[in-house]
């Protein structure tokens, strides 16, 4: 009898610890709403940002509370998420969920015109997944070149027929047009060149392969000119980026913003001076910090504590550089701002 009592006490204590852990894992924002209805265009990051102080931790939080809110990948427009007060603190759950129902394993198939809510807006990063972005010096000079148009037009646009030299016949009929961009400089390591940015200009379709091939411009993002180069279209792949903070201390810097603007805000693409060789991987969430300093009356300058001003999600990684989408910003982000583990 005494042994049974001890075992019961241990199990009860473990149960309370588990519930307490789950409750403590949910850190709600001070201005979190008491409920929210999912609408088309929402992302898991955006939904989590409404409730959680650390939105990038939604995979582990929602899994810890899997009996309180169903699989986040099965959230659809029209669903309602609410904040519920319990004996062990606040929790998130889907409206209409009454509790946990145990089911035997079985296959269930359903069709829906609605798509599950993604992690980040696919349209923001999709163009960057099929483009090389970073190339070695002189790499584009080896690629097929646009020789011009039959009517001697200088600026080429969608619908124009163009001629291409040195085009291989075994790499498909859809090609992308690029032009050499700026060098990516690492300011933290003696301004060494990390690579060169390739500027995406548009897409062409090959209509006839020959010694001088014929093509038609089907899309232009910028002006296409004679002398621009072609690279084969790679398969676009939208990964399911599970946001997570690096499990190591990381310090990098924003060295460029795609599009050449000077001030950076949410949903903009930035380039970091670290990449795969530094342990960065797709899905890493990094915090942006503004470094401050003050000059004393005797002329000496001292550093002040860094101010956190934003969050970014890394979605594409090269050996020495990586690209990230700005997910949150409390003020304008600028090139040279520091990036660290949250």
- pLDDT tens string, the chain, 342 residues long: the values are 444 444 444 443 443 343 333 444 567 888 888 888 888 878 777 888 888 888 777 666 655 454 445 555 567 788 888 887 776 667 777 776 554 444 445 555 554 545 555 667 666 676 677 676 788 888 899 999 999 998 888 899 999 999 999 999 999 999 999 998 889 999 999 999 999 988 889 999 999 999 999 999 999 988 999 999 999 887 655 556 778 899 999 999 999 987 767 778 888 899 999 999 999 999 899 999 997 766 666 667 676 788 999 999 999 999 999 999 999 998 999 999 999 999
* CB 144 within 8 Å of CB 98: no
β-sheet bridge partners, residue 173: none
Cα 226 to chain centroid, rounded: 34
Q: In what order do the strands lie in the sheet with 89-94?
A: 35-37, 80-86, 89-94
What is the pLDDT, as a whole number, of residue 89? 67
- Position of tokens 């301004």? 191
According to DSSP, the β-strands at 134-135 and 192-208 are: antiparallel
CB 93 within 8 A of CB 18: no
Domains of the chain with bracketed CATH: 2-94 (no CATH), 125-232 (no CATH), 251-340 (2.40.10.410)
H helix intervals, the chain: 2-25, 44-51, 58-64, 122-129
* DSSP output for 188-200: TTTTEEEEEEEEE
pLDDT at site 45:
79
Cα angle for residues 159, 134, 119 (degrees, 5° grid): 85
Q: What's the pLDDT score for residue 152?
A: 81
Q: Are 301 and 325 in contact (CB under 8 A)?
A: no
Q: Give the per-residue pLDDT at 146.
A: 96
């Amino acid at each position: 009898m005494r042994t049974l009592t001890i075992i019961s006490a241990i199990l009860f204590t473990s149960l309370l610890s588990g519930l307490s852990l789950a409750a403590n894992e949910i850190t709600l924002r001070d201005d979190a709403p008491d409920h929210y209805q999912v609408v088309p265009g929402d992302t898991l990051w955006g939904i989590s940002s409404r409730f959680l102080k650390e939105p990038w931790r939604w995979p582990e939080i929602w899994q810890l509370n899997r009996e309180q809110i169903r699989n986040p990948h099965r959230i659809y427009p029209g669903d309602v998420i609410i904040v519920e007060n319990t004996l062990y603190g606040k929790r998130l759950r889907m409206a209409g969920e009454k509790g946990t129902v145990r089911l035997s394993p079985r296959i269930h198939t359903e069709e829906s015109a609605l798509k599950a809510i993604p992690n980040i807006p696919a349209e923001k990063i999709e163009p960057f997944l099929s483009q090389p972005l970073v190339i070695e010096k002189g790499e584009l000079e080896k690629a097929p070149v646009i020789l011009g148009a039959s009517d001697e037009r200088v600026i080429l646009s969608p619908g124009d027929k163009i001629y291409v030299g040195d085009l291989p016949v075994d790499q498909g009929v859809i090609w992308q047009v690029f032009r050499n961009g700026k060098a990516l400089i690492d300011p933290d390591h003696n301004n060494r060149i990390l690579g060169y940015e390739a500027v995406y200009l548009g897409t062409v379709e090959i209509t006839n392969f020959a010694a001088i091939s014929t093509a038609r411009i089907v899309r232009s993002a910028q002006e296409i000119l004679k002398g621009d180069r072609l690279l084969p279209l790679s398969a676009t792949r939208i990964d399911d980026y599970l946001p997570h903070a690096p499990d190591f201390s990381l310090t990098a810097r924003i060295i460029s913003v795609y599009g050449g603007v000077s001030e950076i805000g949410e949903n903009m693409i930035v380039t970091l001076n670290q990449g795969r060789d530094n342990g960065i991987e797709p899905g890493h969430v990094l915090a942006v910090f503004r470094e401050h300093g003050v000059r004393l009356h005797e002329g000496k300058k001292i550093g002040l504590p860094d101010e956190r001003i934003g969050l970014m999600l890394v979605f594409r990684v090269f050996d020495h550089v990586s690209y990230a989408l700005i997910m949150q910003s409390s003020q304008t982000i600028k090139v040279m701002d520091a990036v660290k583990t949250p």
